[in-house]
Amino acid sequence: MKSKDLKILRKKLAVANKLSLEKDLLQQLLQSKTFPANVLSSWKTQHQEEEEEKSTPSSSSFTLFYSPSQRLSPNQIQHCLDLFQDNMSKLYQDSSWGLNLDEKRDEFLHSNARFLILQSETTSTPPPPPTASSSSLAAFVHFRFEYDDEESPTCAVLYVYEIQVQQRYRGQGIGKRLMEIVHTMGRSQNMSKVVLTVFQSNDNAMKFYRNTLGYTIDDTSPSRFGQVEDYEILSLSLH
């Protein structure tokens, strides 16, 4: 066997061994119903410190918890769907994907779906006006542990399917903090990177991920292959 062929073979074997180990890891993650408490406790610690510096007539106390989709109640799933619809319906309707709430509900209910749920306890006089998604839900992240590509996988990733924050809680750094926790979760489970999809028309999201969090266009994004689509796949290396 030629030296070049031997190097190619070794590289293929290394990738195969890596994927085999990651497959076992993904199976363990998908079977787990909880997540290390220390990963989530960082939210509470930082939020308490920030709240102590504030003295306002209207304040919010937040509780963050992790849950597989199977452990969320129908009401909790509906509140997440309502918030998604409030925030994203126009972007989806204007996109090549279109808006299909039944498909989105199925995504939320998928057996591999995992959620970070941020609940609020607000004291305010007068109370904020009700919205279609009025509930204690302040924000949520829907994510999964999976491979970067179903047909030609190269590594295990944490894929963020959805992050949504209630309108009245924006501008408080909640989205940034939730994504930082997502990054910590990915690193703690030895994921190679965090991956997500963003509409090109969603300027605020693009700036948030690329400028604030340092995401770049992923190698699997359509634009990398000269394809013209209305979305990009972004990623952040965790190594």
pLDDT, tens digit, 9 for 90 and up, residues 39-72: 666 565 454 455 445 444 344 688 899 999 999 9
Task: Specify the range with the lowest mean pLDDT, choosing from 128-132, 144-148, 179-183, 214-218.
Answer: 128-132
| pLDDT for residue 15 is more than 90 | no
Q: Say which CATH architecture domain 32-237 belongs to.
A: 3-Layer(aba) Sandwich (3.40)
Angle of the 74-93 helix axis to the 101-109 helix axis, nearest 10: 140
pLDDT of residue 148: 84
Query: pTM here?
Result: 0.78
pLDDT in tens, 124-175: 444 444 443 446 899 999 999 998 887 778 889 999 999 999 999 999 999 9
Q: How far is Cα 23 from Cα 146, in angstroms, rounded to an integer?
A: 9
> Would you call 123 exposed, middle or buried from its count of C-beta atoms within 10 A (0-12, 13-18, 19+)?
exposed
| Tokens linked to 60 | 């919010």
% of the chain residues with pLDDT over 70: 69
Mean pLDDT of 184-191: 92
